[in-house]
Structure 1
Amino acid sequence: MSFSPEAAETFGLKALGWLASNEELMPVFLGSSGAAVDDLKAQASDPAFLASVLDFIMMDDAWVMAFCDEIGAKYEDPMLARHAMPGSEQVHWT
């Protein structure tokens, strides 16, 4: 399955909602991203910010599994959605 940019953003919003409701991970995300709680609502429509949420979740397989299990997604969906978002282009240095 591949994601359209719009479907990827919707998936990213689900990831943001899951992260925001996770009392253990939310402070870790805020600390590592430099975002404040007020920024979450303001940046929720920014595909680049949603991509950073997916990047954060994908840092740990356990987080991916917990997120996907809760929303009923496949474990590869965060990666597939991320590839449809800004900043996922591969850089070729040759």
Structure 2
Amino acid sequence: MPVEINREAAEALSIEALSFLAGDPERLERFLSLSGLDPATIRLAASDPGFLAAVLEHFCSDESLLLAFSANTGRDPADVGKALRVLAAFDRDCEP
């Protein structure tokens, strides 16, 4: 049975994914490098509504990372894509 993911659950999943990245310096460095962020600016970036979606986009673009996250957390890999769609739709709704 498909699991529905609301905005709150999508945000929680994204934060969990970010914590997963932060737990491994190599993974975090790759994310920071690809996103153009650095440790000093990540807190500021996290306040941007699109940041949580960007975290999930990062996971969706790297299958091995996605599968490692899923194995580590017990989450279905498809839930990451569902959460990304929820956050992306929310971001579009908030655009001026």
Q: Could you report, residue by residue, the CA deviation over 1:19-39 in whole angstroms, capped at 9, with x for unpaired residues?
A: 111222211111111111133
The structure that is helix-richer by fraction is 2
In 2, distance between residues paired with 1:47 and 1:16? 15
Instruction: Give, in angstroms, the shift of residue 88 of structure 1.
Output: 7.7
Instruction: Give, in angstroms, the shift of residue 73 of structure 1.
Output: 0.3
**TM-score, scaled to structure 1:** 0.82
In 1, distance between residues paired with 2:7 and 2:64? 25
Are the structure 2 counterparts of residues 11 and 47 from structure 1 closer, same or farther at C-alpha, using a change threshold of 3 Å? farther
Are the structure 2 counterparts of residues 63 and 40 from structure 1 closer, same or farther at C-alpha, using a change threshold of 3 Å? same
Indicate the SS of the match to 2:37.
Answer: coil
In 1, distance between residues paired with 2:52 and 2:86? 11
Among the aligned pairs, what percent are the same residue?
Answer: 31
| Structure 1 position 56 matched with structure 2 position 50 | no
**TM-score, scaled to structure 2:** 0.80
Is there any run of 5+ residues in structure 2 with no aligned partner, and where? 92-96
Q: How does 1:1-94 map to 2 (within 5 A)?
A: 1-86=3-88
Are the structure 2 counterparts of residues 45 and 11 from structure 1 closer, same or farther at C-alpha, using a change threshold of 3 Å? farther
- Aligned residues between the structures: 89
